Amino acid sequence: MQLNHYLNFHGNTEAAFNFYKSVFGGEFSPLMRYGDMPAQDGVTLSDADKQKIMHISLPINESTVLMASDVNEQFCAQTNQPFTVGTNHYISINLDSSEQAKAKPLFDALSANGSIEMPLDKTFWGALYGAFTDQFGIKWMINCQLENS
């Protein structure tokens, strides 16, 4: 299991991560834009939103990865969570495929009496993923990469 910091930005993730890369070095792994997502019913993205960062990772060392995404207005409306600088941070628990059995118990235990943003479910990037705010106001993500991805 790996715990990482996951940051949200309001349209300037790419600039922020180019800065972090200049400080820490390394290469982005992976970098996905909203335009890379499969089409979803009821979701229309502008050309500008398609260029924003859906997910970016910058490995800092063997055990630490800094990750982030741009949050757009549709996301804020959909999750009923406005973007607020200072509260735009998640703790991300990353499990590999051998730890898949831990994903649901961790999600259920940590989210108890909290607010689920995205239920734990399979994703188009080949993982079990879910996000929530725990009963103490801390934001969490659970991501378990599946073997067949």
pLDDT at 63: 85
Number of domains in the chain: 2
Residues 51 and 106 in one domain: no
Range of the domain at 24: 1-87
Residues 131 and 75 in one domain: no
Residues 101 and 117 in one domain: yes
- Spatial separation of the C-alpha atoms in residues 149 and 126, rounded to whole Å: 5
| Token digits of residue 94 | 């990353």
pLDDT at 87: 59
Residues 14 and 75 in one domain: yes
pLDDT at 24: 86
Residues 56 and 27 in one domain: yes
Q: pLDDT tens for residues 45-55?
A: 889 889 999 99
pLDDT at 81: 63
Other CB atoms within 10 A of residue 131 CB: 21
Residues 13 and 83 in one domain: yes
Biggest CA-to-CA distance, the chain: 40
Give me the tens of pLDDT residue by residue for the chain, a chain 149 residues long: 888 889 888 888 999 999 899 988 999 988 999 889 888 777 788 898 899 999 999 998 888 899 998 886 665 555 556 666 655 788 888 888 888 999 999 999 999 999 999 999 999 899 999 999 888 778 899 999 897 64
Q: Which residues pair with 130 in a beta bridge?
A: 142
Residues 2 and 28 in one domain: yes
Say if CB 148 and CB 100 are below 8 A apart. Answer: no
All residues at 6 or more sequence positions from 147 whose CB lies less than 8 Å from its CB, including other chains: 97
pLDDT at 78: 56
CATH of the domain at 105: 3.10.180.10
